[in-house]
Structure 1
Amino acid sequence: MDEKEFLQGRVYGADHEDAGPRPDRTYAELVGGPLDGLLLDVTDRSDHDPGEVALTTEIGRYGPGGRALYVRRAADTRRFDWQGDTPGTP
């Protein structure tokens, strides 16, 4: 199993021991980029919240501390599409 297969269906930011989705939470799928296939917990977000997130990742273009930018799809609020990577803030 490669890293991409390992990450499929896992929740971004969750503990490795408990990285699967929980039935009492709501998730959106990250599509494309370094976090492709991960689930983002959107339980406390409304459809009116900003639809852009910058998620810290070590596997993006900028390595440790870099961020992957994702934007919520207008037609499908349960998916966030990758927009690119950015270096982390110092």
Structure 2
Amino acid sequence: MTTPTPTPAGLYVVELVGGVLDGQVLDVTGWSEDERAGGALLIAEVGLYGPGGRADYVQRPGDPARWDWNGDVP
């Protein structure tokens, strides 16, 4: 697994923690600070809502390189 760290250009990848995408890395290159602060609804084929459902991930307070699972949504 890649350790989530800023790239030399200040762009980021983040580690997803918890939920069905636990341990995966999300490329947020080009996302603004506001976009990163809003988190992400990511397609998750395996989850509470099955294929087409989404996993909600939000920035961990005090550790923006890790995003915590916030639940599944249809």
TM-score tier, shorter chain, comes to 0.7 to 0.9
- Determine the structure 2 residue equivalent to 1:67: 54
Report the Cα distance in structure 1 between the residues aligned to 2:34 and 2:62, rounded to whole angstroms: 13
**TM-score, length-scaled by structure 2:** 0.77
Paired positions, count: 66
Largest Rg, 1 or 2: 1
Question: Once superposed, which parts of structure 1, at least 4 consecutive aligned residues long, lie more than 2 Å away?
Answer: 46-51
Q: Percent identity?
A: 52
Q: Of residues 34, 52, 61 in structure 1, which corresponds to 2:20?
A: 34
Unaligned runs of 5+ residues in structure 2 are: 3-8
Root-mean-square deviation (Å): 1.9
* Structure 1, unaligned runs of 5 or more: 1-8, 11-23
| TM-score computed with the length of structure 1 as normaliser | 0.65
Higher relative CO (Cα under 8 Å, sequence separation at least 6) belongs to: 2
1:55 to 24, 31, 42: 42
